[in-house]
Amino acid sequence: MSFYVTLPSNSSMDLYPENTMTDFSVLLKEPIRLDVQYEVALVELTYKHSWSLEVDYQYVGDAYAPLLRSVVVDNSYLKTAWVNYDNPHYLNVNKYYINNIKVEIRDDTGKKIRFENGRVIVKLHFRPKQV
């Protein structure tokens, strides 16, 4: 069974008051229990001008990091950006029990992106690992 998880950056603020639009954690209402190996992909990102689930590491330039996907966006001021991926890139999930998901949004040098206001919404697709 596959499923989606939507993660608004302003969720769980009572538990994680240090959450920002580019570095946030969401405590899930119900923990996700995976009985087999799953993989996950970033399928949607929405932000108003506006990565770290435990996944397999991959080569990113001269580094080795748990990057779900690179995101290219239009920098138009006061525009809501929405990015949807028809061909998601799946990575293995390295846990079978997930009650919290942390998201980090950074530029290509590793610095946190500076958003002025609003919120970010990240949508992930989980599916059993394809053989």
Q: What's the whole-number average pLDDT of the chain?
A: 76
Domains and CATH numbers, the chain: 3-128 (2.60.120.1100)
Distances (CA, A) of 19 to 22, 26, 74, 102: 8, 9, 24, 10
pLDDT tens digits, 107-120: 667 777 776 667 77
Residue 123 vs residue 72, higher pLDDT: 123
Contact, 11 vs 26, CB < 8 A?
yes
Position 81 pLDDT exceeds 60: yes
User: Average pLDDT, stretch 63-90?
Assistant: 62
